[in-house]
């Protein structure tokens, strides 16, 4: 009897353990998976369902219209304009932010005195909310009281003063400048991390050979940052395609859709024009565009992954 | 030696460094100075004029308004969200990194793919869902979307982290008869502290400044978070530039103070987070 119980005990415990280890993954994953299903996957699918409706979002007035919204989207000039603006934003983010960020990273890397303090100060814009940055620069650009026009006037450059955010030709450029101001510090720190692995001996050897700082920068440091550069391009492009905050806060996409992005157009369609169905069509189209471009760029960058 | 100190590189570096310092800090100086002026001064004097006297009335006015309500909401929403993010993502990461089951690979890939989903796509369905759940216009409406959008990156960071925990520790615990739950709680959770810190810092800062969900899912000032304080005050004060810029200063201050205390950690946390993202 005693022997049997002694034997039965471990078996039962082993079984319990086997059961718990079979269930364990499910239990550990359940909270995260449930949250992702409810707040990420379901909304994603639901967005496509809503894109087939004509609905103002209130009550039982939703009407199934099939692909009508998608046909409308294909002919919607504002949507294509805003998609174009997203691409412009991506292009200028890469062309403006990354070169400045690389130069700043090299400067910080070289400057022995006070580089720590500089790094802290350079990083500040990244810690402000987009609303704070947006409202700040709305006042900086203010045509009557803003410092930009005041300074131009102080130098007698009256012809240069502009309604920076109100002029359809300037609005997008003005906001892109602010987007750059806020995001350059991020890429700067990214490149700084890349430079940290630049071999110091190489630097010293090149100097001894009489190479100038500029030669060292072009011939040695820039090639060293190639991998980081690709990561940065990827992040800048994907970030730009889904951009919303500063544009919405500073111009609302205006004037006359001049600075409209896919996300701001989607937002206004849903929450200002109350076209939930068509707004969801824009959102779904945005998802397709971003996913496709992200997939392509990941595929391209993976080919170079060994260098990162 | 003297010839090298005159090379273009030697001169360019401090010049560029100072130039960018001006680009970064001048807007901040503009905000702080203007917020200390009276409305009269902003119209009468040039922008670069120093405030005639230190006038804190704008700050007082803002602080006597709902500022602390916004702040309280932000603190509540962000701390609850970050706590849930840490627990759920570390549990999931442990299962994905250490428990052997067939779906581990595909599931990990699927969760990580969530990182590229543009948030705005989920906006309308989440808005409808929040309305149906009766959470609309409460600070708690934000917790669900905040946690879910932070999970992919957090799971990714922590899974990488837990893969590096030495096997021996786990095996010793197994021999002692510990089940997976005890092993997670006694070994993996405490050992992942640096990873958890990164996840908390990165998501904490991102969510602290989050705008669009807070804007859509809440509507009354009593229930809104700090970034929206500026938005609401802007409507309220429309023409009072110094007061609006006082709000900008005040709402930016909490993070800047935190940053002043732990800047190196925060820079690194932000980098680790975004690099993986």
Q: How close, in Å, is residue B116 to chain A by CA atoms?
A: 7
pLDDT of residue A178 exceeding 70: yes
3-state secondary structure labels for all residues of B179-233? CHHHHHHHHHHHHCHHHHHHHHHHHHHHHHCCCHHHHHHCCCHHHCCHHHHHHHH
Question: What average pLDDT does the segment A178-183 reach?
Answer: 93
CB nearest to B16's CB, from A107, A140, A235:
A107
Q: Is the pLDDT of residue A45 over 60?
A: yes
- Our CA-based measurement puts residue A131 at a distance from the nearest CA of chain B, in whole angstroms, of 6
Question: What is the second-level CATH architecture of the domain A77-307?
Answer: Orthogonal Bundle (1.10)
A residues 60-99 near B, CB within 8 Å? none
> What domains does chain B contain, in order, with CATH numbers?
2-59 (no CATH), 65-276 (1.10.3720.10)
Give the pLDDT score at A12.
60
CB contact under 8 A, B120 and A120: no
d(CA B255, CA A142): 27
> Domain spans of chain A?
2-50, 77-307
Question: Distance from A118 to chain B by nearest Cα, in Å?
Answer: 7
Q: Which residue has the higher pLDDT, B14 or A284?
A: A284
Nearest to B89 among A27, A32, A270 (CB): A32
Question: What's the pLDDT tens digit per position in B23-48?
Answer: 999 999 889 988 888 877 877 777 77
Going by pLDDT thresholds of 50, 70 and 90, the confidence category of residue A3 is: very low
Among A36, A128, A137, the residue with its CB nearest the CB of B252 is: A128
Q: Which residue of B has its CA nearest to A137?
A: B27
Query: What is the average pLDDT value for chain B, to the nearest integer?
Result: 86
Query: pLDDT at position A21, please?
Result: 65
Does the structure show a pLDDT above 60 at B276? no
Integer Cα distance of B2 and B16 in angstroms? 21
Chosen from A12, A31, A39 to mutate, greatest number of chain B CBs within 10 A: A39
pLDDT value at residue B272: 66
Residue of A132, A142, A181 to mutate, testing the B interface (most B Cβ within 10 Å of its Cβ)? A132
A155-175 average pLDDT score: 86
Whether B107 sits inside 8 A of A44 (CB atoms) is no
Q: Which of A9, A26, A28, A275 to mutate to test the interface with B (most CBs of B within 10 A)?
A: A28
- The model's confidence at residue A50, banded by pLDDT at 50, 70 and 90, is very high
pLDDT in the model for residue B7: 61
Q: Is A132 in contact with B251 (Cβ distance < 8 A)?
A: yes
For residue A308, the model assigns a pLDDT of 38
Averaged pLDDT, A221-231:
84
**For range A190-199, the mean pLDDT:** 82
CA distance A91 to A84: 10
d(CA B227, nearest CA chain A) in Å: 6
Contacts of A120 in chain B (CB under 8 A): 259, 263
Give the residue carrying structure tokens 């750059």. Answer: A180
- What pLDDT does A94 receive? 92
Which residue in this structure is represented by tokens 């092993």? B183
Nearest CA in chain A to B239: A139
In Å, what is the CA distance from A248 to each residue of A252, B87, B137?
A: 4, 34, 21
pLDDT at residue number B6: 54
Do the Cβ atoms of B211 and B135 come closer than 8 Å? Answer: no
Categorize the per-residue pLDDT at A230 as very low, low, confident or very high, splitting at 50, 70 and 90. Answer: confident
Min distance A251 CA to chain B CA atoms (Å): 13
Joined tokens for residue B61: 């006015």
> Which of A3-12, A174-183, B28-37, B248-257 comes out lowest in average pLDDT?
A3-12
Contacts of B150 in chain A (CB under 8 A): none
CB-CB neighbors (< 8 A) of B107 in chain A: 29, 33
- Listed by number, the residues of chain A in 159-198 with a beta carbon closer than 8 Å to a beta carbon of chain B are 181, 185-186, 189-190, 193
pLDDT at position B154, please? 92
CB contact (8 A) between residue B99 and residue A193: no
**B28, B116, B231: residue with CB nearest A290:** B116
Look at residue A133 and tell me whether its pLDDT is greater than 90. Answer: yes
Residues of B in contact with A284 (CB under 8 A): 121
The 8-class DSSP code of residue B49 comes to: S
Better-scored residue on pLDDT, B271 or B232: B232
With a cut of 50, say whether residue B263 has pLDDT above it. yes
| Mutation for testing the B interface, residue in A10, A22, A27, A35 having most B CBs under 10 Å | A35
Query: Residue A13 above 70 pLDDT?
Result: no
Determine the longest span between alpha carbons in chain B, in angstroms: 79
Bridge partners of A64, per DSSP, are A53
Minimal CA separation from B242 to chain A, in Å: 10
- Give B260-263 contacts, CB < 8 A, sequence gap 24+: B263/A120, B263/A123
CB A276 within 8 A of CB B124: yes
Residues 13-52 of A with CB under 8 A from B: 17, 20-21, 24-25, 27-29, 31-33, 35-36, 38-40, 42-44, 46-47, 50
Q: Verify whether the Cβ–Cβ distance A31 to B241 is below 8 Å.
A: no
Cβ–Cβ below 8 Å for B180 and A29: no
State yes or no: pLDDT of B51 exceeds 90: no
| Interface test with chain A among B124, B184, B206, by most A beta carbons within 10 Å | B124
* Among candidate residues B70, B31, B59, the one with its CA nearest the CA of residue B229: B70
b/e per residue, B139-176, with b = 16+ CB within 10 A?
bebbbbbbbbbbbbbbbbbbbebbeebeeeebeebeee
Residue of A nearest to B24 (CA): A122
Please tell me if residue A236 touches chain B, with a CB cutoff of 8 Å. Answer: no
Interface predicted TM-score (ipTM) of this complex, two decimals? 0.87
A9 has pLDDT over 60: no
Q: Given the structure tokens 């070169």, which residue do they identify?
A: A99
| Percentage above 70 pLDDT, chain B | 93
Least confident of A83-97, A229-243, B141-155: A229-243
Each residue of B80-128: pLDDT tens digit? 999 999 999 999 999 999 888 888 889 998 888 888 788 888 999 999 9
């Amino acid at each position: 009897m005693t022997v049997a119980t002694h034997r039965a005990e471990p078996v039962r415990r082993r079984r319990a353990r086997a059961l718990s280890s079979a269930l364990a993954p499910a239990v550990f994953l359940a909270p995260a998976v449930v949250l992702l299903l409810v707040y990420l996957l379901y909304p994603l699918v639901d967005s496509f369902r809503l894109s087939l409706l004509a609905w103002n979002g209130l009550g039982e007035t939703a009407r199934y219209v099939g692909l009508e919204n998608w046909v409308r989207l294909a002919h919607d000039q504002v949507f294509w304009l805003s998609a174009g603006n997203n691409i412009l934003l991506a292009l200028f983010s890469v062309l403006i932010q990354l070169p400045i960020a690389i130069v700043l990273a090299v400067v910080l890397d070289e400057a022995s005195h006070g580089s720590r303090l500089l790094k802290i100060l350079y990083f500040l814009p990244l810690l402000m909310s987009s609303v704070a940055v947006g409202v700040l620069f709305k006042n900086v650009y203010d045509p009557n009281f803003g410092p930009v026009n005041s300074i131009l006037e102080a130098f007698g450059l009256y012809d240069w003063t502009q309604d920076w955010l109100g002029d359809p030709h300037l609005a997008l450029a003005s906001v892109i400048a602010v987007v750059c101001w806020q995001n350059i510090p991020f890429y700067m720190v990214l490149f700084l991390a890349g430079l940290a692995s630049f071999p110091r001996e190489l630097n010293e050897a090149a100097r001894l050979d009489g190479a100038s700082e500029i030669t060292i920068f072009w011939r040695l440091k820039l090639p060293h940052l190639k991998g980081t550069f690709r990561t940065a391009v990827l992040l800048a492009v994907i970030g730009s395609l889904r951009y919303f905050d500063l544009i919405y806060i500073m111009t609302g996409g205006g004037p006359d859709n001049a600075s409209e992005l896919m996300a701001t157009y989607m937002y206004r369609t849903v929450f200002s024009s109350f076209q939930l169905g068509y707004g969801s069509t824009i959102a779904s189209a945005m998802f397709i565009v971003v996913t496709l471009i992200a997939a392509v760029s990941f595929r391209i960058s993976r080919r170079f992954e060994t260098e990162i | 030696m003297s010839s090298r100190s005159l090379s273009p590189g030697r001169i360019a570096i401090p010049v560029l460094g100072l130039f960018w310092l001006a680009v970064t800090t001048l807007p901040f100086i503009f905000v702080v100075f203007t917020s200390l002026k009276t409305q009269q001064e902003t119209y009468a004097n040039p922008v670069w004029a120093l405030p005639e006297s230190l006038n804190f009335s704008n700050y007082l006015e803002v602080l006597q308004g709902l500022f602390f309500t916004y702040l309280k909401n932000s603190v509540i929403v962000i701390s609850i969200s970050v706590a849930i993010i840490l627990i759920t993502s570390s549990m999931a990461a442990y299962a994905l990194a250490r428990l052997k089951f067939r779906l581990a690979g595909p599931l990990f890939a699927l969760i990580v793919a969530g990182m590229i989903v543009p948030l705005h796509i989920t906006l309308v369905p989440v808005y409808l869902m929040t309305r149906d759940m009766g959470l609309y216009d409460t600070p708690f409406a934000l917790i669900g979307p905040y946690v879910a959008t932070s999970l992919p990156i957090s799971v990714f960071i922590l899974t990488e982290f837990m893969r590096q925990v030495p096997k021996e520790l786990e095996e010793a615990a197994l021999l002692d008869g510990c089940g997976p739950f005890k092993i997670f709680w006694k070994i993996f959770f405490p050992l992942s502290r640096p990873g958890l810190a990164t996840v908390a810092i990165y998501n904490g800062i991102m969510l602290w400044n989050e705008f669009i969900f807070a804007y859509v899912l809440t509507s009354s000032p009593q229930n809104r978070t700090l970034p929206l304080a500026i938005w609401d005050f802007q409507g309220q004060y429309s023409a009072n530039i110094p007061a609006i810029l006082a709000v900008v200063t005040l709402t930016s201050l909490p993070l800047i103070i935190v940053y002043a205390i732990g800047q190196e950690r925060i820079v690194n946390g932000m980098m680790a987070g975004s690099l993986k993202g």
